[in-house]
Structure 1
Amino acid sequence: MCRKKMAVDAVPPTPKQPSPRHHNNHRKQPSNSGKSSPSHNSSTSFDPLTTQNKPTSNFTSSSTSHSSRHSLSSLRSSLPENPQLYDISEIRSATNNFLAKSYSAATTTTSSSSSSSSRCWRCNLHGKDVIIFQRKSHNELRPSSVRQKLSSICRSHHVAIVNLLGASISGDCVYLVYNFISNGANLQDVLHNKNNPGFTVLSSWMSRMQIATDLANGIDYIHNNTALDVKFVHNRIKSSSIIVTEPSFNAKICHFGTAELCGEPTEERDCDDFGGNETPKVVEEIIDEESSSPKKLTRSSSVKFNGTTGYMSPEFQTTGVGTRKSDVYAFGVVLAELLSGEEPVKYKYNKATKEYMKMSVVDTARAVAEDSGGEGEGRLRKWVDVRLKDSYPVEVATKMTRLAVECLHVDPYRRPDMRRVAGKISKLYLESQVWCDRMKIPTDFTVSFAPR
């Protein structure tokens, strides 16, 4: 029986010319099998597969094209959209004609959400979870200028900056639409928990270094690395404008683009940005007040600054013009706040004088930096947040304090550039990581913002 089977297997192929279809099948066989088999049985068993190869290939290619279309659509949805200049009717519809409850997390990004000129709503717009801020416009902007600015701002993307999706203008109000960050809380609430002042989720040194690194890189990007001709100024750096996300405690900067779109006076701003060859309104008010000195200064003619107490640089308090150097000063305040765990400004009651004394984190940081080194190490340890439980590299903390004081210099020209600040903090972050590895301190644990 074996001989008979071998005889059948050894039958050579017929010399008859195969049909074109069979010829193609025989040409495909070597590419699939790698070499020709001497077995007729294997050849015959292969033929049905080759006859079904064509429809299977069609099905596979169809499936592949379908999956590729799906991956392309998912990729397209993940890419940033073009900036949108929303119609005011869309904003009204999303906020229920502005009757929806204002977002209460102060909050998340603004300390003046209760003001009628600065409110915010969390809502759904075009199928996205967004937060809409209402801001007062300082100058009448031309639609073409707004569209150009919006396009420049929305083309700027950084992992440490909350994306601006679009804006809308109605009367003297500007409505700014940002992505809503759901998995985090603002730095002010994280550091200064009024319900439990002795607790913070930022109880490790590396978590605070992570936030400082993210902030420095984000501001450096805004000032120097947007790859655009526009020189951006944030003008709203403060702890309530910074979102700390869990579980990795990364920081995100809010309100990027507000200063430009609201027409706030900043450095290197052209008169064309204000709708023509006109002087900005703030400057006009200053001129009127100076020229009419006998007049009594009234509330309606005074100049309002969009600053927050404790974060305004000396020159900003004088001129009201935001600059990159005033951003550096505000960052120095946040850095000192991050190191000490103290609020920028607070009042302490003195029992002896029976008066309230103003305590500034800027003044205490300068005093600590002057005494740092040697015997001053004890003062540094008293100043650094006690909730860190004295578990941090003292040398790195000293360098971070000195860097914060450099940013807080009274002379704006002696403050460092954010590129230099970001480079220094990145280096100190690596030194802190080496210290943690040497001390065997765990850095991969997670803490939730949610209540227990």
Structure 2
Amino acid sequence: MNLSTQFKLICLLSFMGWSASAAPIDPTRLSPPWPLTTDPVLPTQTQPFSSQAKPQSSGAANASGKHSEDISNKILVALIVTSTLLAAIVLFLSCFWFYRRKNFDKSNTDDQENLEAAKGISLGPILGKVGSLRIGGKKGSNTVIEYKLLVAATNNFEEDNVLGGGGGGRVYKARLGDQHLAAVKKLQGGGPEAAREFENELACLSKINHQNVIALLGYCIHGDTRLLVYEMMHNGSLESQLHGPSRGSALTWPLRMRVALDVARGLEYLHERCNPPVIHRDIKSSNILLDSNFNAKLSDFGLAVANGIQNNKSIKLSGTLGYVAPEYLVDGKLTDKSDVYAFGVVLLELLTGKKAVENVAPSQCQSIVSWAMPQLANRSKLPSIVDPVIRNTMDLKHLYQVAAVAALCVQPEPSYRPLITDVLHSFIPLVPVELGGSLRLADPAQSI
């Protein structure tokens, strides 16, 4: 029964009840239509008046009146019962109608919420997250962003908005609102392996909350296209800063030490504070992003492995040449020390300004580890391999300490490498207080 039919029925029943109450039945009208007295006779036929006839007439009248009174009482009782039933029916139908109406409204609300969830959300909640220290989806959940919003934010993914890219896809600058910027990584195709890495990154970043790990604002799946939306990192990657057009000129010695400290803090969080522990498995300069103040954050968790898996042959060998630890490359043995090795390579990049793998001939490459190792322990040669941009700008004792940490991190034997916690504590005294360390600069010339 729909709402319209229910309403009509209620109106009809109400009208019937009103009519019955408005026109009560007169009990006297229910008496027989014929007269109760006998037919008249001619006077000549009139019998003498007898005293015995009077009681008979009185008794008949009394019987007739009592009969009419009984009928009236029965009708009155019937009317009361009928009115009560009608009132109960009206009350029941009213309650039923209000119940159905309430459920109908709730159903419409739920349908609207489900529709919004299926389509995505507006940019309002996302804009509130942009610009905070740690931005991301709710813990254990991810935010779906409409594809059309990302198309509009990137101006249909035009070339002028490209921030960078690689084998995994291109990264675009997106403008959310008037002043809020974000970075959109667009992954297209790639097959099952790319889909697994996409889902793996979503799962990892939705559970990670740290100031030195990139913040995930949301994601979008549109056909074969997958998109990840991150907080904007205005100074790009460490790779672009060190090996791009500026050749590291924006990175002073104190800033490089702060970058190393930030990366160590991020890794220490993954290895020691996450439950289960997380091995990043792809630490490299292009996956270390820098914000407007050169704070460093780890990114690209598509290859990350949880649960501290060691020596698991089922894990496909992945990583970037020059950063992969020897035991993982040769034997497939993966531990947190694999990330420590990659961190050592990044530290050598910060120290020397060279790439992890340099082309020394048309068909020959040289690893930064094999090139730097013989000179790291030689104090007379060490200053000559330092990046010319920062050469002679640091305390030599600090230079020797950084070189020693780098040499330990890239040891071929994993057991000789330090824990990332030890590396973290060794860098805190090398970073100025203003940049998050404990070093108090006596010479103003050593400031940023």
Instruction: Please classify the TM superposition score into its range, dividing by the shorter chain length.
Output: 0.5 to 0.7
Displacement after TM superposition at 1:154 (Å): 2.6
Contact 1:365/1:401 (<8 A) preserved: no
Q: Which structure 2 residues correspond to residues 118-267 of structure 1 after superposition, within 5 A?
A: 118-123=169-174, 129-134=181-186, 136=190, 137-138=192-193, 150=202, 153-168=205-220, 175-182=227-234, 184-194=235-245, 197=247, 200-202=249-251, 204-226=252-274, 229-247=275-293, 249-255=294-300, 257-260=301-304, 267=308
Is the partner of 1:312 in helix, strand or coil? coil
In the aligned structure 2, how far is the partner of 1:310 from the partner of 1:266? 25
Displacement after TM superposition at 1:366 (Å): 1.3
The match for 2:10 is: none
CA pair 172-316 structure 1, distance change in 2 beyond 3 A:
farther
In the aligned structure 1, how far is the partner of 2:325 from the partner of 2:308? 14
CA RMSD of aligned residues (A): 4.2
The percentage of aligned residue pairs carrying the same residue is 24
Is the partner of 1:210 in helix, strand or coil? helix
What's the TM-score, normalizing by structure 2?
0.58
In the aligned structure 2, how far is the partner of 1:436 from the partner of 1:361? 32
1:268 aligns with 2:306: no
Q: Which has the larger radius of gyration?
A: 2
Q: Which structure 2 residues correspond to residues 316-327 of structure 1 after superposition, within 5 A?
A: 316-318=328-330, 323-327=335-339
Is the partner of 1:105 in helix, strand or coil? strand
The match for 1:91 is: 147
Q: Which structure 2 residues correspond to residues 429-448 of structure 1 after superposition, within 5 A?
A: 429=431, 437-444=441-448
In the aligned structure 2, how far is the partner of 1:186 from the partner of 1:132? 15
Displacement after TM superposition at 1:220 (Å): 0.9
CA pair 348-129 structure 1, distance change in 2 beyond 3 A:
same
Displacement after TM superposition at 1:430 (Å): 6.0
Q: Which structure 2 residues correspond to residues 418-429 of structure 1 after superposition, within 5 A?
A: 418-429=420-431
The match for 1:412 is: 414
In the aligned structure 2, how far is the partner of 1:379 from the partner of 1:150? 45
In the aligned structure 1, how far is the partner of 2:402 from the partner of 2:130? 41
CA pair 190-120 structure 1, distance change in 2 beyond 3 A:
closer
The match for 2:395 is: 393
- Aligned residue pairs total 310
Corresponding residue to 1:361 among 364, 368, 378:
368
The match for 1:38 is: none
Contact 1:266/1:322 (<8 A) preserved: no
Is the partner of 2:323 in helix, strand or coil? coil
1:337 aligns with 2:392: no
Q: Give unmatched runs, 5+ long, in structure 2.
A: 1-126
In the aligned structure 2, how far is the partner of 1:90 from the partner of 1:230? 32
Is the partner of 1:406 in helix, strand or coil? helix
Paired amino acid for 2:257: M
Contact 1:95/1:121 (<8 A) preserved: no
The match for 1:310 is: 322
Structure 1 residues 51-83: Cα deviation after superposition (integer angstroms, max 9, x where no partner):
xxxxxxxxxxxxxxxxxxxxxx98999675426
In the aligned structure 1, how far is the partner of 2:241 from the partner of 2:130? 35
CA pair 80-237 structure 1, distance change in 2 beyond 3 A:
closer
Is the partner of 1:359 in helix, strand or coil? strand
1:104 aligns with 2:162: yes
CA pair 154-174 structure 1, distance change in 2 beyond 3 A:
same
Is the partner of 1:416 in helix, strand or coil? coil
In the aligned structure 2, how far is the partner of 1:319 from the partner of 1:176? 33
Is the partner of 2:146 in helix, strand or coil? helix
The match for 1:15 is: none
